[in-house]
Structure 1
Amino acid sequence: MASLENSTGTAAAEGVDELSNVLRDVHVQNLAAYSRLLEEESRTTTTENGPVTTADKELPFWDIVVVTAGDKQQKHCYRRRIDQKLAERSIPSRARYLVIEDPPNSKIGSGGSTCLVMKILQENFPTDFLLQARTLLIHAGGYSTRLPHVSARGKVFTTLPQANKPEGIQVLDLKLVLYLHLLKSMPPGVFLTSADGIELFSSSSPFPKDPKPFTITALAHPSSKQIGSTHGVYLLQDPEGLIPADRARKPKDQVALLLKCRKFLHKPSLDEMRRTPKLIYSNSLASGEEEEEVYTDSCYYFDPHTAALMAHVYPGLSTECDLEAWADILSFQDSSSPNHEAGSNGQEFNQHPLKQALHDANVQLDVMVLNASKFYHLGTMQEFIAATCSDRAFMSELNIRNINPGVAIIRPSLSTAGQQQDQDRGAPQWQPESPLFIENCRIPPTAQIGAGSILVDTDLPDTEGEEGVLIPDDACMFTLQLQEHAFVTFTFSINDDMKRAVSATASSEINDDTSLVLLERLKVFGTVPILAMLKNSDQQHQHKHRPPTSQIQACGNNLSLWTAPVFEIASTAHESTCFALDRLARVRQFQSGGQGREKQSVVPQLTTNILGWVSLKDAARIAREL
């Protein structure tokens, strides 16, 4: 029987190797240390100056934690969530938490944002403090269009399931856990990471205690060539053959290797990697086959002097510089011939102030090679559901346990009154071993959930008959509250490209006819026209249930699933869910070729009017303000 709980049992051994066990043990130790930090926060003494928490010097923690935001609105949203965590004592209060947003109407990118953060830190803290402080910088700005179910709350507040916590763990909290063992040897400076990357290191990965001033120390992980083609790759100086020797050791015996970087290649092609000597390393598998790997980027550290240099550079950057914190900053040694995408589109001159300053200051790029490490990217719906539901190594390493294999469930929301009745009637149906992510949802026993689906903040209606609501395979379904009495439930495929735009004509003028063309050309679930997804959208009833032309006009001649105002706003969450289920029924009808008469919807008939139409882009913005 399916159960809406996470298990505390032992993870299946399949897919979990010796390295996974090492990384899991380190993470368990970090979780225990983090729990001690939080317990310490609860032990306070009262003085004439108020309550004081006694800090345990044996438990190092960050002095400053910075989360970046895309704009002022996102900053306020992040700030509220962080303040709530502090009030609940669910994150350590000994750190200073800052949320820093990009300037309005700018496009400075994560690299420009890094420089801005350094400038603001200089303006808000004494120099002596910054020279001794350890700062965690988490880049989390933007709307998360490729992970739409967190577009309102932001990637840094994405929730992952946990074995012993029904509410799961959010990425911000996880980031505070992941690097605790590194803090034991990390010198003052800034540690930079992204909100959609999960990095795991063994405990034998210390930082150099006294790094030279003007040094960037980047962490490198062994990755397949395919992964290397979508990330940054390091070409390393290893005259003594330290890397092959360390690769031959068992994971528990592997150590951190601090090497010089000869060159940083951003998203190199497979051919470029093959042509570059000493870039690829071979690995003999148990099957006898040879595996080829490269060393890819993730997070990196830089010392206080480099931080001050970045702060000094910021005023000279263009508001449209669109610098990337990895591609541009880590490639500063080769400023004459940038090999990243931005350098080829005419914006090269905007990037030179920072790269030139790093080059002129003789900043050194060191690479800490961590063979006993892993990097996971959770930036897309496919990556997210694969990691949390199917990747047994990831699940073992990150303390994820599911009673039902493949089904990750966070905060089940069965009503107390109806829970026993639901249990008596059975359990929701899903395919065995199918990946399925459910967060804060009520799933009635009559529901049938397709494989590969993501359901968040949605209560599916129960039905009287035997046939219940049906969620198709690979669906992403989530509800946002816009006002006290305004809700919208979105439906996509996890394989949809949210930003792929369609256009109607060469003209920028849009009328009723061109809006229909746009709605016909814009596809959801891969091949289904938006027009077919809308209720009564046939020629006879085409004006009865679709957004007004004026709203389509506001999008210009380019329409995408991110900007299209094709989702109904309802006065209750239940009604918005029913609208969404109607859309999914029409998607299924189109996919089946529209053969025969469509089955009558199992969703209760709606008697209220639509309050309006909204796009995901606008809904995410509005929902942030609640």
Structure 2
Amino acid sequence: MAALVVTSRVGEGHVSGDVRMCEVEEDVRVRRETHRRLEAFNAIRGKEVQLGEFWDAVVITAADKQQELAYQQQIADKLTRKELPLGVRYHVFSDPPGPKIGGSSQRLPNASALGKIFTALPLGNPIYQMIELKLAIYIDFPKNMNPGVLVTCADDIELYCSGDLEVTFHKPGITALAHPSTLTIGTTHGVFVLEPSDSSEYQELEDRSCRLFLHKPTIEKMRQTGAVSIQRNRSCNPVGERLAEEKLNSEVVYTDSLFYMDHATVQLLLGFFKEFDTLCCEIDAYGDFLQALGPDATLDYTENITFVTKTESQLIEVRKKIYFLLKGTHFSVIVLNNSKFYHIGTMHEYLFHFTSDTKLKAELGLESNVFSIFPDQDENVNETACIIQSVLHAKASVSPHSVIEYSRLGPDVSVGEYCIISSSCINIRSDVPAKSFVSSLSLLIDERLMYATIVFGIEDNLKKNVTTLSELHSLQIFGRSFLERLGLWDIKVSEQLFSGDQTALSLWNARIFPVCSTLQESVTLSLEMLNAAQNKPLAKVGYMKMLSIEEMLSCKDVKDMLNFRQLLYKEIVLQREMEMSAF
């Protein structure tokens, strides 16, 4: 049985594996292979797949029961619209209540309500979301894989060309993919310490053994453990003639992306889990599994809590048990020297990759206007803007480097540069300032359908927190003092201002977003707050019921949010059918 598991993971973004010599030829090969995989996936989209042709099961992990239900609904809708291969078992499993490694997509809040794996991409007809892209990019794996499980993340993209060799998962134990990266990138990712290669020649794919896995190491640690390599000699052969080899003296490390566990290893971990009645700490499939592997692995990492959000009393004990459980498990690494790794987990990465990254655009065939209605687009939107499944009035305008997804913009709506507008309906005259984030959520409060719209600046840090109200001056929203903004909005500072943990006060759990009975009223009020922050007429909202983003996610109405997207979908389909019939 071949199973794909998509999970959440915390990490910084990067693009790695960029080869300076023969760059054009190697990029062309990556692009060609990527397009082949996309075409192969499109050929089975909405069709019954045969046994062995595709994954036996696709498993998505959710943070809680509510998110599990949201994911299940979205999978069901996709199957109904025939956007996924049929005849596959799609499962969603939620984590038990308790500590979480992740942070509810705080760095990409438009994915917080419905999940990063369902992030819309400017690609495909109907549009791809991250789940389709993952399935497309990995389409060659099931046929080259022994029974087992492949573990991947919801917010990254791995593109590669392996030359004449195929990526295979036939070895026992655990096999991981690795990508050449700079040492700086290595400090925010997992890094492999590999056995020396048997060949001195450059190869697009290398099968290597791994001595040690380092989790977000320092550059000094990488050097001490032998993780740093010098990029190999390589040659180009673009027109059939061998060119002179040139040594590249740049230092690289090999960083992680996804990994495979064979059936025996999965059974070992399953037996371990069953021994525990309840796990009272969250285990990281990357940091806690992979650091236990390799002949040079030691127990030292089990007591390192540097990257742990909240330390539970059971954590170190469980880590040690996992270390002894996995110790001696075969650990191999497939090095993809001609590969690209893109992370789309922050607002800056999201905006850059969707609007400005010419390489990713060429590799995936990304478009600036996907499955949308936008008359007079050439006049009112820059080609570096991105419109995804949205309906825009002919008199609306969108500035460069902005993304509009699942939204409706009326006449006289102007969106500034570097904005994200998500799941919103803006029908009033509006000038959305540059670097603004606007996203609406449907809420179910006391069995009543309500709405709230999140607004803040793209540069704002939603995760930064302080421990007391007296420290609020150090928080900023829209680039200015949070306390100053509260005054403009007539919101009083008190213990009731924040939800959740009262020792971690942040923009994420600040009750500053008004709850309204209609979507349009919600958008209007939040835009007034946004304009007040830009020294426009004041928006007094302190008298209203206010929620934090944290609270909104706990009472979100997934059904209504998906219904809004479906209405946009039907309107766009109808418009296209009318256009087709006109010819």
Of 350, 355, 372, which aligns to 2:323? 355
- Residue 416 of structure 2 aligns with which residue? 450
CA spacing shift, 1:27–1:554, aligned 2, 3 Å: closer
Aligned-residue offset at 1:446: 3.2
Match of 1:380 in 2: 346
Which residue of the partner structure matches residue 136 of structure 1?
Answer: none
Comparing 266-275 with 188-197, greater Cα deviation is found at 266-275
1:292 equivalent in structure 2: 251
In the alignment, structure 1 residue 29 sits paired with structure 2 residue 36: yes
Partner of 2:547: 614
> Equivalent of 2:94, from 82, 94, 101?
101
Per the alignment, in what secondary structure is the counterpart of residue 81 of structure 1? helix
Give, in whole Å, the separation in 2 of the partners of 1:440 and 1:108.
29
Q: Indicate conservation of the 8 Å contact 1:453/1:473, yes or no.
A: yes
Equivalent pair of 2:121/2:129 in contact (CA under 8 Å): yes
Counterpart pick for 1:459 among 415, 419, 425: 425
Contact kept in structure 2, 1:411 and 1:439, CA below 8 Å: yes
Q: Secondary structure, in 3 states, of the residue corresponding to 2:426?
A: coil
Q: 1:269 aligns with which of 218, 229, 232?
A: 218
Contact 1:546 1:566 in 2 (8 A): no
Report the counterpart of residue 303 of structure 1 in structure 2: 262
CA contact (8 A) 1:69 1:142 kept: no
What is the distance in 2 between the residues matched to 1:147 and 1:32? 29
Q: TM-score, normalised by structure 1?
A: 0.73
Unaligned runs of 5+ in 2: 1-21, 237-245, 370-381, 560-583
Q: Tell me if the contact between 2:231 and 2:248 (Cα under 8 Å) persists in the aligned partners.
A: no
Q: Would the alpha carbon gap of residues 440 and 185 (structure 1) be closer, same or farther in structure 2, given more than 3 Å must change?
A: same
Instruction: Indicate conservation of the 8 Å contact 2:100/2:282, yes or no.
Output: yes
Q: Find the counterpart in structure 1 of residue 160 from structure 2.
A: 201
Note the C-alpha offset of 1:221. 0.7
User: In 1, Cα distance between the equivalents of 2:522 and 2:146?
Assistant: 52
Residue of 318, 321, 340 corresponding to 2:281: 321
Q: Deviations over 1:591-615 (max 9, x none)?
A: xxxxxxx4x58xxx99x99752111
Question: Relative to 1, partners in 2 of residues 1:185 and 1:617: Cα closer, same or farther, differing over 3 Å?
Answer: same
1:443-502 CA-to-partner distances (Å, cap 9, x unmatched) read 345333222211111222343xxxxx2222222111111146411111122222212112
What residue in structure 2 maps to residue 225 of structure 1?
183
Where do 1:119-130 residues align within 5 Å?
none
1:476 is matched with which residue: 437, 457, 469?
A: 437
Question: Equivalents in 2 of 1:518, 1:578: separation in Å?
Answer: 31
Contact 1:535 1:582 in 2 (8 A): no
Contact 2:148/2:260, CA 8 A, preserved across alignment: yes
1:428 and 2:397 aligned: yes
> Is 1:574 aligned to 2:502, yes or no?
no
How far apart are 1:625 and its partner, in Å? 4.7
Going from structure 1 to structure 2, the CA distance change for 1:522 and 1:277 (only over 3 Å counts) comes to closer
SS of residue matched to 1:198 = strand
Structure-2 separation of matches of 1:561 and 1:17? 44
Partner of 2:81: 88
Q: How far has the Cα of 1:263 moved from its partner?
A: 1.5
| Residue of 470, 476, 484 corresponding to 1:523 | 476
Partners of 2:170 and 2:117 in 1: how far apart?
A: 31
Deviations 1:138-171 (A, max 9, x none): xxx7621221111110111111111x53x53111
Equivalent residue number for residue 330 of structure 1: 290
Distance 1:572 1:259 in 2: 58
C-alpha distance 407-554 of structure 1, shift in aligned 2 (>3 A)? closer
Alignment CA distance shift 1:195-1:536 (3 Å): closer
Q: Are 1:586 and 2:532 an aligned pair?
A: yes
Gap runs ≥5 in structure 1: 1-14, 42-54, 110-140, 248-253, 464-468, 505-513, 538-544, 590-597
Q: Does the Cα contact within 8 Å between 2:388 and 2:406 map onto a contact in 1?
A: yes
Distance 1:96 1:582, change over 3 A: same
Conserved in 2, the CA contact under 8 Å of 1:77 and 1:624? no
Instruction: Check the 8 A contact 2:391/2:407 in 1, yes or no.
Output: yes
Which residue pairs with 2:365 in the alignment?
399
Aligned to 1:78: 71
Q: Which amino acid aligns with 1:169?
A: Y
State the distance in 2 between where 1:151 and 1:97 align. Answer: 21
2:300 aligned counterpart, secondary structure: coil
Which position in structure 2 is the counterpart of 1:495?
Answer: 459
Aligned length: 503
Q: Distance in 1 between matches of 2:331 and 2:482?
A: 50
The answer (yes or no) to whether the contact 1:316–1:353 under 8 Å persists in 2 is no
Shift of 1:282: 3.4
Tell me the distance in 1 between the aligned counterparts of 2:169 and 2:455: 51
SS in 1 for 2:286: coil
Contact 2:396–2:414 (Cα < 8 Å) also in 1: no
Change (3 A) 1:97 1:349: same
- 1:208, CA displacement in angstroms? 4.1
Matched with 1:168 is: 127
Give the drift of 1:239. Answer: 4.3
**Rounded Cα–Cα distance in structure 2 between residues aligned with 1:502 and 1:621:** 22
Change (3 A) 1:520 1:237: closer
Distance (Å, rounded) in 2 between the aligned partners of 1:573 and 1:519:
30
Counterpart secondary structure, 1:40: coil
CA distance in 1, matches of 2:453, 2:403: 17
Deviation per CA, 1:547-583, whole angstroms, max 9, x where unpaired?
A: 8854547652432111111111112111111112112
SS in structure 2 opposite 1:264?
Answer: strand
Q: CA deviation at 1:86?
A: 1.8
Matching residue's letter, 2:104: Y
Q: What is the Cα-based RMSD across aligned positions, in Å?
A: 3.1
The answer to whether the Cα contact below 8 Å between 2:145 and 2:170 also exists between their aligned partners in 1 is: no
SS of structure 2 residue aligned to 1:18: helix
The whole-number CA distance in structure 2 between the counterparts of 1:353 and 1:561 is 38
1:68 maps to which of 49, 61, 64: 61
CA contact (8 A) 2:201 2:232 kept: no
On the 8 A contact 1:266/1:339 being kept in 2, the answer is: no
Contact kept, 8 Å, 2:303 with 2:316, in 1: the verdict is no
SS in 2 for 1:66: strand
SS of equivalent residue, structure 1 residue 306: helix
- CA deviation after TM superposition for structure 1 residue 409, in Å: 1.0
CA distance, structure 1, for counterparts of residue 46 and residue 534 of structure 2: 51
Percent of pairs with identical residues: 30
Based on CA coordinates, which of the two structures has the bigger radius of gyration? 1
In 2, Cα distance between the equivalents of 1:62 and 1:228? 31
- The alpha carbon displacement at 1:399 in A equals 2.0
Q: Give the aligned partner of residue 579 of structure 2.
A: none
* Alpha-carbon distance change, 340 to 198 in structure 1, aligned in 2, over 3 angstroms: farther
- Cα distance in 1 between the residues matched to 2:144 and 2:179: 19
Q: Which range moves more in the overlay, 554-563 or 262-271?
A: 554-563
* Residue in structure 1 matched with residue 228 of structure 2 by the alignment: 279
User: 1:429 offset after TM fit, Å?
Assistant: 4.9
Given the two structures, how large is their TM-score scaled by the length of structure 2?
0.78
How far apart in 1 are the matches of 2:306 and 2:454? 37
Aligned residues of 2:489 and 2:529 also touching (Cα < 8 A): no
Amino acid at match of 1:473: A
- The AA in structure 2 aligned to 1:36 is A
Contact map agreement 1:327 1:340 (CA 8 A) in 2: no
Compared CA separation, residues 276 and 526, structure 1 to 2 (3 A): farther
Matched residue SS, 2:301: coil
